Amino acid sequence: MTVPLTHQVKLEHMDLSLSSLRIVRPRDLDKMQESLHRSGQLNPVIVRKHEALFQVLDGFKRWHSAERLGWDCLQAMVLDVPIAQGKALMLSYNRVTRSLFDYDEALVVHSLSKEHMIDQAGISTLTGYSRSWVCRRLALIEKLSAGVRDQLRLGVISNSHARSVVKLPRGNQDEITRIIVDNNISCRDSAVLIDKFLQASTAREQQYVISHPMEVIASSLERSDVFDSRLSRHGNRLLNTIELLLFQHNIFTGQINHYNSSKLKSIELDILSGRLCKLEKSTGRVLYILENKTGK
């Protein structure tokens, strides 16, 4: 078996055509630039021979960061593999670290399916992932609306959000996603909201879900008792109280961190400050109870 060679390769000789299958997020790029500046290049960029250039398979953030820092070259491991296998390797090299998001993986899988005409079984064999995994990744591209895919690509919504949104008909995805973003709804609560929308039997019920999302989520939790057969009656009551408190905590966190919180007027802040002080004291009592009860 031939051991891949490692060379110093000039940035200008690297082909970034496969960067369309990766989302380079500004925050991650800043971290990589800081790492290169502080510690130098720790791992080689993975490339394949492609005509007169070296096509990058893994290391797009390193390339962009090196360019920012004014570097001329990067250490690169050169592979001699066909393009389809090279795309599969884009998944393999990030499998352990999970540095790829679901959508990045979906872009690669979709490319293998559409550009190379490989069926799901073939992609499963080529990548080492199960057919169900391949099917789920394809759904993120094929079943999500273009607007939702843009939100996911930009990091406005998470992969967990997208896995819930993909259950919706395309015609409803953009509107529900807008509600999730505008109200800063967590992944868990988004799943509840979407399930309620799908369970609605009339257009009027669906419209109520759209118009009153937070009320629907709160009502759903209040009506659904959590039960554990290992617990006593009091234990289950306590369990339900904990679940309700966690739910309200998620809602509060989402609302207080919402961008509209920074736009509140002085009179609004005056009205809310008293309740926030009361909440702070109450939170302190809860923390005291947890420290003592869990300690025992």
Question: Where a domain ends, among 170, 187, 202?
Answer: 170
Predicted confidence at residue 115, as pLDDT, reads 94
Q: Is the pLDDT of residue 230 over 60?
A: yes
Q: Please indicate, yes or no, whether residues 105 and 210 belong to a single structural domain of this protein.
A: no
29: pLDDT strictly greater than 80: yes
**Do 11 and 148 belong together in one domain?**
yes
Question: In the predicted model, is pLDDT for residue 120 greater than 70?
Answer: yes
Domain identity same for 91 and 26:
yes
Residues 63 and 128 placed together within one structural domain of the fold: yes
* Cα 6 to Cα 14, 39, 44, 108, distances in angstroms: 14, 19, 8, 25
* Structure confidence at residue 59 as a pLDDT band (50, 70, 90): very high
CA distance 149 to 164: 13
- Torsion angles phi and psi, residue 54, rounded to 5: -120, 110
Helix axes 146-153, 170-182, angle to 10 degrees: 40
Helix, strand and coil content of the chain, in percent to the nearest 5, comes to 65, 10, 25
The rounded distance, in Å, linking the Cα atoms of 151 and 255 is 20
Tell me: do 101 and 228 sit in the same domain.
no
Domain boundary among 170, 195, 221: 170
Using DSSP, state whether 280 is helix, strand or coil: helix
Give residue-wise pLDDT tens across range 149-204: 888 887 788 888 998 999 999 999 999 999 999 888 888 889 999 999 999 999 99
pLDDT of residue 84: 95
Judge if 65 and 191 occupy the same domain.
Answer: no
Tell me the two tokens of residue 42.
């720790």
Query: How much of the chain, in percent, has pLDDT values that exceed 90?
Result: 49
Do residues 32 and 160 share a domain? yes
> What CATH number corresponds to the domain at position 91?
3.90.1530.10
CB atoms within 10 A of CB 155: 14
pLDDT digits (tens, 9 = 90+) for 1-22: 455 678 899 999 999 999 988 8
The total domain count for the chain is: 3
pLDDT band at 210 (very low <50, low <70, confident <90, very high): very high
- Indicate if 98 and 40 belong to the same structural domain: yes
Residues 190 and 294 in one domain: no
- Domain end marker among 131, 150, 170: 170
Q: 241 near 286, Cβ under 8 Å?
A: no
pLDDT at 99 over 70: no
- Shared domain check, 273 and 190: no
The pLDDT of residue 138: 92
Q: Which domain holds residue 151?
A: 5-170
- Give the pLDDT confidence score for residue 67 in this predicted structure: 95
Same domain, 64 and 161: yes
Q: Could you tell me if 80 and 37 lie in one domain?
A: yes
Query: What's the angle, vertex CA 154, arms to CA 95 and CA 133, rounded to 5?
Result: 35
